[in-house]
Homo-oligomer: A and B are copies of this chain.
Amino acid sequence: MAKSGGRLYGIGVGPGDPELITLKALRLLRASPVVAYQSAVDRESIARKIVAPYLPGNQIEVQFHLPRALEPEKAKSIYDQETQPIADHLAAGRDVAVICEGDPFFYGSFMYLFTRLSEQYKTEVVPGVSSLMACPVSLGLPFTYYNDVLTVLPAPLPIEVLTSKLLTTDAAAIMKLGRHFTKIRTLLHELGLASRARYIERATTTQQRVVPLDEVDPEEVPYFSMIVIPTKNKL
């Protein structure tokens, strides 16, 4: 079946610094009549804030909210409902640029839209600079060399999984710290990895903070934070 209607764009806008957007993202974002972005009810959208300097001012804006902490099955019906306004614009023939902090297919909420809409509508995804690359750079830490194994670990994983992964990798990034920070810090000390681990939050933004691991206040750890364990292998 030929696809008709508007075109869906999933646009990675990078980790936070507006200057870390790509030329392609900027071109497609500016050309779309509709811009859509994730945001909590009472909060400013991070992706919207990143691209604010570039918006031409005449676009329809659509907010949606795909709660992050839900179990996948519970999330499904909410996601279906939140997708509908975007589907309506596409059905009416309007292109929709969904802006995503970082990269759209790397732990990004855009995937929930992609799986619901890309079979019906022409879809193009633009990769972006991910926090996985931005955090080591902002910390000044060469991250992975040569034949290193790199493991990316969401902090909510069980201790046993985190332990076995951390003990058998050359480099690691621990994401989604939030309320799991204390569990992770304790584990890194137990495993002898605390001295190699570096903490950063809101990398590349004007609110970027680098804090020694043992000085981080667990009550104040935002979702946009990361612990980076760079490779031990040095040249």
Contacts and interface: CB of A to CB of B under 8 A. Distances in A.
Interface of A: 12, 14-15, 17-24, 26-27, 72, 75-76, 79, 103-107, 111-112, 114-115, 118, 125-130, 132-134, 136-137, 140-154, 156-157, 161, 164-165, 168-169, 176, 204, 233-235
A114 B139 CA distance: 13
A234 B115 contact: yes
Given A22-B20, A143-B106, A161-B149, A235 B129 contact: no
Complex copy number for this chain: 2
Given A105-B137, A106-B144, A126-B137, 7 more contacts: A21-B23, A22-B22, A106-B132, A115-B142, A127-B137, A130-B130, A150-B152
Nearest to A176: B147
A198 to B, nearest CB: 13
18 contacts: A19-B22, A19-B23, A20-B126, A22-B23, A72-B145, A103-B133, A105-B137, A105-B141, A107-B146, A118-B140, A127-B129, A127-B133, A127-B134, A127-B204, A147-B154, A148-B154, A149-B151, A149-B157
